[in-house]
A = this chain, B = another copy of it.
Amino acid sequence: MSAVAALRLHPHDDVAVAVVALAPGAALPGGGHAAEAIPAGHKVALHPLAAGSVVRKYGQAIGATTQAVAAGAWVHVHNLGLGDAAPRLPGGGTATAPVPVTPRTFEGYLRADGRGATRNYLAVVTSVNCSAHVARAVARRAEDRLHEFPGIDGVVPITHASGCALDGRGAAIDVLRRTLAGYARHANFAGVLMLGLGCETNQLPDLLAAEGLRESDTLGATTIQGEGGTAATIAAGLERILAMAAAATGVKRVPMPLSHLTLGLQCGGSDGYSGITANPALGAAVDRLVAHGGAAILSETPEIYGAEHLLTCRATPVVADALMARIAWWEAHVAATGGSMDNNPSAGNKAGGLTTILEKSLGAVAKAGSTPLNAVYGYAEPVTARGLSFMDTPGYDPVAATGQVAGGANLIAFTTGRGSVFGCRPAPSLKLATNSDLFRRMAGDMDIDCGRILGGMSIDAMGEEIFEALVATASGRLTKSEELGIGDDEIQPWRLGATM
């Protein structure tokens, strides 16, 4: 593996990306040479392009030339525009159907209702901030006794800032209830205790009724006021969780098809390498997972804003309309709070080599691979579709991943260039470094070094390695964030509406 100076991200691409600053005459992928100096991170033409030609990167149109471009020439704002090159119609189709593959299995937990799980946790889910301390105390004391109950990975306190002083009807409480219910029914939890204060707006009986949940041996519900205060509730909660631990101990992993895997896709702390190493490599892994019948969830709506057709062109009209409805919601939401949506390349983006909004968004969308978009979900809605789907979430890592996990994600793959230390119990989170320097500097936090692509490893081979790591992780291999015990503080339900 020798260091590469320029990367072609997809076999159909018209441009390569300079990994380092290229001098005139530098060798390009496919045998050509740079005709002029190309700054690092910028694009260089791999063959002559007539004026008005569609230009492809990631195998997708990022714009059209505004003049003729010679082979080896620098491609940027002086000769590339948005044009009308982008496929804007649903089904216009750059999606590739998943290829048939030899069936694979992972070692998972088979739940009584037929669902597969990648971990075997218990949870204390709070209705309101007022029960957060007690929930943490129950979880901590229960974890201190887990040595008595082999095979249980931990007890997760699901705490948050909201649950009272919000409108008792409407989007804010609906989203909160859906998120908490999503955790309560997550397959990675063998048992859940719902814990309230007692007088909060987000009443537990209402939450359970609204979400179709019923109390059972594996789903308890109680309040601090009902139990008679902090100490009594900690004691009662601990007893209840330990009873669930006794029932859930000794459960064994069994082989099950990869269709039980639901992978949440995340990126945070992106850098100039995200779009050329970790993101496309994760996309290659997603294509493999989808081919095996698994599911992947792309999210972070603000990061595709203005380039929605990157996704609608891979979707049926019904799915495309659902996505456009979410985009319209965001425009109204952000305007109401006095902000504005803007995902256009900034001056800094352009200096770094990103020319159009399509190209910028493709860097984020690349982690979703190339298969059709099958469904669009609201935040924290249960993800039942297999293949690729989209869940509407903010771009903020903890809020976005919380929606995915609440929707059933039992694996997270997280690309990072600056160095995130994210975790999201009960789902393991694999951290994919976009560059080898980061991988070395934060070796205790990073799982996979995608910077090796800059050393000559192909995106496809990197995708294969990520795919195998996902299967191994689903089967029980600990991620770095799990080794470090990270993943409680990052559970952050999306908060809408005013705090009163």
A103 proximity list for chain B (CB < 8 A): none
A47 to B454 Cα, complex, angstroms: 90
A-side binding surface: helix, strand, loop or mixed?
Answer: loop
A231 proximity list for chain B (CB < 8 A): 444, 484
A370-397 interface with B by 8 A CB criterion: 394-397
Residue contact A229 to B419, C-beta cutoff 8 Å: yes
What is the 8 Å Cβ interface bit string for chain A, positions 84-116, against chain B (1 contact, 0 not)?
000000000000000000000000000000000
A434 to B304 Cα, complex, angstroms: 52
Residue contact A444 to B161, C-beta cutoff 8 Å: no
Is A164 engaged at the interface, CB distance under 8 Å to the other chain?
yes
Give the residue name and chain of the B residue nearest to A126 (CB). B489
Residues of A within 8 A of B (CB-CB), count:
66
Is A421 engaged at the interface, CB distance under 8 Å to the other chain?
yes
Shortest beta-carbon distance from A493 to chain B in Å: 9
A336 proximity list for chain B (CB < 8 A): 336-338
Residue contact A165 to B395, C-beta cutoff 8 Å: yes
Is A212 engaged at the interface, CB distance under 8 Å to the other chain?
no
Shortest beta-carbon distance from A338 to chain B in Å: 7
Q: A338-B170, A494-B499, A497-B338 are in contact. Are A229 and B421 (CB under 8 A)?
A: yes
Shortest beta-carbon distance from A415 to chain B in Å: 13
A171 to B164 Cα, complex, angstroms: 23
Residue contact B161 to A492, C-beta cutoff 8 Å: yes
Residue contact A130 to B420, C-beta cutoff 8 Å: yes
A103 to B310 Cα, complex, angstroms: 73
User: Given A165-B395, A230-B442, A396-B499, list of 19 further CB < 8 A pairs?
Assistant: A129-B490, A130-B268, A130-B420, A133-B421, A133-B485, A134-B421, A161-B398, A164-B397, A165-B399, A167-B339, A171-B338, A197-B421, A228-B442, A229-B441, A230-B445, A333-B498, A334-B500, A339-B497, A395-B500
Interface residues of A (CB under 8 A from B): 129-130, 132-134, 136-137, 159-161, 164-165, 167, 170-171, 197-199, 224-225, 228-232, 268-269, 302, 333-334, 336-339, 394-399, 418-423, 441-445, 484-490, 492, 494-500
State the 4 A-B residue pairs at the shortest beta-carbon distance, nearest first: A165-B396, A132-B489, A229-B442, A199-B418
Q: Can you list 20 residue pairs at the A/B interface with Cβ under 8 Å?
A: A133-B484, A133-B485, A133-B486, A133-B489, A133-B490, A136-B489, A160-B161, A161-B398, A161-B495, A165-B396, A170-B338, A197-B419, A199-B269, A232-B444, A333-B498, A334-B498, A336-B338, A337-B496, A395-B500, A399-B499
